[in-house]
Amino acid sequence: MLEIFSYSFMQRGFLVGNVIGLVVPLIGVFLNLKRLSLIGHTLSHVALAGVALGIFLGVYPVSLAIIVAVAAAIGIENLRHSGYRGYAELSLAIILASGLGLATILISLSDSNVAVYSYLFGSISLVTRQDLLLIVPLGVVVGVGVLIYYYGFFSVAFNEEEAQLSGVPVKIFNIIFMVMVAVVVALSMRIIGGLLISSLIVLPVAASLQVARSFKGTVFYSMLFGVISVNTGLFLSFYWDLAPGGTIILTSVSLLLLTFVFKGIKRVSKIKELILGEKRVGNEKGTG
């Protein structure tokens, strides 16, 4: 079974995948707390325009995807707090429409639809050394950045108004966070795919909310479920010849369903304990 690691492209795929499996759910916890889980969907489509532009110009696509996604993230943040305050979904819709329109045009002008397809749905075999040297360091930077600004991100995500009254530089934290989200989404397109990355932002967090008892617990379980999803998905996609992105997402869905089952079993056991406790008390009163 371990012969999978004898292939250099799988070694690169697993290394990149584990970095993505850690940082995407980590970012996803704060995004879901801010009620902006759909931002991953928006930025992935905008990043696709950067990929198509890179292929069209003959430039490394991931680098342009990062630049375009960061610009879009800053644009979303400005629209969300100026032109459409209180209507965050409108800012997402505007950027999404612009990104999709640009991506469609650039893809039609591109000569390599196969390359674009690999960024849409993810590909293990096409992960290059150049991808490795960009994705891993930037993923580590994002992870360390979240740890450094953890409490600032938490306070801003939980309640921006209270955070501002407490002296937290809300605007700066929001911009830093949105840039991190854009970078993570662009980096994830290589393994997960642009059409599926938003699912990895949401699903591990949804699963962790079923079992965690605190915010830190939610962060831990989200990252754990993300890593399990990526590794299991990569193994299955290799041995069963499946698309890696879709396999990772379906694995994440399976984990979510398992947490529902686990929570249901716990609820039933608690009910049984209560019933047995009441019977025991009743028997004690009867014998007394």
9 contact partners, CB below 8 Å, separation of at least 6: 124, 125, 127
Tell me the CATH class for 2-202. mainly alpha
pLDDT at 109: 81
Q: How far apart are CA 32 and CA 34, in angstroms?
A: 5
In eight-state DSSP terms, residue 196 is T
Q: How far apart are CA 68 and CA 47, in angstroms?
A: 6
How many CA within 13 A on the CB side of residue 140? Answer: 7
pLDDT tens for the chain, 288 residues long, are 678 888 888 899 999 999 999 999 999 999 988 887 788 888 988 998 999 888 888 889 999 999 999 999 998 888 877 766 666 677 788 888 888 888 888 888 876 666 777 888 888 877 888 989 999 999 999 999 999 999 999 998 888 888 888 888 988 998 999 999 999 999 998 888 887 888 999 999 999 999 998 999 999 999 999 999 999 999 999 989 888 889 999 999 999 999 999 888 878 777 777 777 666 656 666 555
Q: How far apart are CA 50 and CA 62, in angstroms?
A: 8
pLDDT at 164: 86
pLDDT at 82: 73
pLDDT at 278: 63
In eight-state DSSP terms, residue 174 is H
